[in-house]
Amino acid sequence: MKLNRFIGDRAFYRRALSIAIPVLVQNTITSFVSLLDNIMVGQVGTLQMSGVSIVNSLLLVFNLCIFGANAGGGIFTAQFHGCGDHTSIRRSHRVKLYVGTTLSVAAILLFLLAGDSLIGFYLRGEGAPEDAAQVLAYGRKYLAVMLFGLLPFALTTSYSGTLRETGHTTVPMVGGIAAVLVNLILNYTLIFGHFGAPAMGVQGAALATVISRYVELAIVALWAHLNPKKNPFVQGLFRSFYVPKALLGNIFRKGMPLVLNEFLWSTGLALIHQSYSTCGLDVVPAVNIANTIFNLANVSAIAFGNAVAIMMGQLLGSGAEETVVRDTNRKLMALTVFCGFLVGIALLIGSNAFPRLYNTTEDVRHLAGQMIRVIAIMLPVSCFTLATYFTLRSGGQALITFLFDSCYQWVCPVLLSVLLTRFTDIHILPLYIICQAVDGIRCFIGAYMLKQGKWIKNLTV
């Protein structure tokens, strides 16, 4: 097998990096600030950090449903951009706004009615009952404020997605950077009570996040509407609510499986974390630390995954030959995995140092370090599966994407975590290794699906 089949020319890397770098910069800053937020909350106390961690695991379900909803319209937006159909881009963006608003209202009602029960689901492991009660109280306070940030998050995701899919990747990056800087400054101010502000603890962390989301929405949406020549999709966007039935039906047929996929994948992840938590209350902060580091390490995979989705969608929409599509995809996959390999090495080197940043017990630090090493080893595998997911999605293969992603999640790691924690006395570390390692099987399934080529479809004709 010739190595140059996996290596592109300068034009290829220039194109891929022009999409990936703005997303990479934005996500790196976001994840780094999230790490600092986590450390700041951890400085207040381990119980506070546990409460915030649990709520963020629950909110991840909402966040990923929003991403899935936007991905459904995004498949068409990228391909419409490839063939220059601005009217259809405008209509697909409307659908994103409608669905995002609906999901936000539904999530707010759910958390208002069942928030305590959902948080309490994670507090069934070994530990002092009074500690569990305090974690629940901190989680409740944090969630009450975070609910005000759900709608701006959904709207920002819609605008940022459409801008990226139409070639404007810089503005979402600028908006994201501004938001995380505001979040960082307000976290320092509101959590600890600096500059004359009250010390609000976990509520201060939530308020900082909510304000930063409104800042990001203002930057992204205002730029889009103030530059209609660069963004034809905003022209007449709110003059009508019309979306043709055929387009609406196509988006829902392709998009609803993606929403369901993200819902099942995120709820599966939440259930895995809940299974971990039954191994003891110390596991909750350890998993929180490991996941925060993973999110920081995974930004390259997400950035190049976006490049895969956008470049593949535009190629398919422009009617490019199959050989060109396959060649571009193969090189993007190789680039994504290579970046994952490099980041994994960095994680291994720093696996003992990262947990030292947290003001927590030595047992929690030791367990978090072990989990980070597992993440580092599996990172190239995660990069391959993520790039495969974006490739399948770019061709509108919603059902195959659904089977590959969330169905596999529930059949393998979710089922294993539930069975092993309910019917054995397995320790958290071997449980964590098993749940991470089964993702290797998905690589072989993904490689087979890519080779089959059923994802190579032009949805604009």
d(CA 265, CA 385): 14
Cβ-proximal residues to 387 (8 Å cutoff; 6+ apart), any chain: 301, 304, 305, 308, 332, 333, 336, 337
Question: CA 461, CA 455: separation in Å to the nearest integer?
Answer: 15
Per-residue pLDDT 10s for the chain (461 aa) are: 566 777 777 877 887 777 777 777 766 766 666 667 777 777 777 788 788 878 888 888 888 888 877 777 777 777 777 667 777 778 888 888 888 899 999 999 999 999 888 888 777 655 567 777 888 899 999 999 999 999 999 999 888 888 888 878 788 888 988 988 898 899 889 998 888 888 888 899 899 999 999 999 999 999 988 988 888 787 877 887 777 787 777 777 766 777 777 788 888 888 888 888 888 777 888 888 888 888 778 777 777 777 777 777 777 777 777 787 788 888 888 888 988 899 899 999 988 888 887 777 888 889 999 999 999 999 999 889 888 888 887 776 767 777 888 888 898 899 999 999 988 888 899 999 999 999 888 888 888 888 887 777 766 65
CA distance linking residue 384 with residue 374, whole number of Å: 16
Q: How far apart are CA 159 and CA 343, in angstroms?
A: 30
In the chain, where the domains are located:
3-452
- How far apart, in whole angstroms, are the C-alpha atoms of residue 221 and residue 213? 12
- Enter the tokens of residue 267: 């709820």
Give the global pTM: 0.72
76 near 247, Cβ under 8 Å?
Answer: yes
Residue 95 phi, psi (nearest 5): -60, -40
By the 10 Å C-beta count (0-12 exposed, 13-18 middle, 19+ buried), 261 is classed as: buried
